[in-house]
């Protein structure tokens, strides 16, 4: 397990969660999700993507799928936010996985 990737995923998830909470105050629709639900969803996306370092998928597919599924599970109780929240989750998942996959300081050192 790559602990750098896991910690990086949690940090990125927390950063995107905080950003989403701040931006949800200015949401053009009526946002029925609490700030804790929004933050937790994004944190969970980062955590899951941090754990999935051994899955050999393109970062767009892996990140998009995890971002979409975690976001969908969050808004299933209130479908009025489903398009906005799951779409944002899909994009955030791709961005987090891109950073976790391509950033050299988050990569495992390979031993001989």
**Position 74 pLDDT exceeds 90:** no
**Position 112 pLDDT exceeds 80:** no
Q: Give the residue with greater pLDDT, 26 vs 57.
A: 57
Q: Closest Cα to residue 24, out of 93, 90, 85?
A: 85
φ, ψ dihedrals at 58, nearest 5°: -60, 145
φ, ψ dihedrals at 45, nearest 5°: -60, -45
pLDDT of residue 29: 65
pLDDT of residue 53: 85
Residue 46 binned pLDDT confidence (cut-offs 50, 70, 90): very high
**Position 90 pLDDT exceeds 90:** yes
Residue 33 binned pLDDT confidence (cut-offs 50, 70, 90): confident
On whether the CB atoms of residues 67 and 90 are closer than 8 A, the answer is: yes
Written as one string, the DSSP assignment of 9-45 is HHHHHHHHHHHHHHHHTT-SS---S-HHHHHHHHHHH
pLDDT of residue 1: 81
């Amino acid at each position: 397990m790559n602990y750098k990737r896991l910690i990086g995923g949690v940090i990125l998830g927390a950063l995107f969660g905080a950003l989403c909470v701040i931006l949800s105050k200015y949401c053009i629709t009526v946002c029925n999700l609490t700030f804790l639900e929004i933050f937790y969803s994004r944190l969970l996306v980062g955590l899951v993507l941090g754990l999935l370092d051994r899955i050999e998928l393109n970062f767009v597919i892996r990140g998009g799928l995890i971002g979409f599924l975690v976001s969908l599970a969050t808004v299933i109780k209130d479908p009025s936010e489903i398009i906005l929240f799951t779409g944002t989750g899909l994009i955030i998942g791709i961005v987090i996985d891109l950073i976790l996959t391509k950033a050299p300081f988050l990569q495992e050192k390979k031993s001989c």
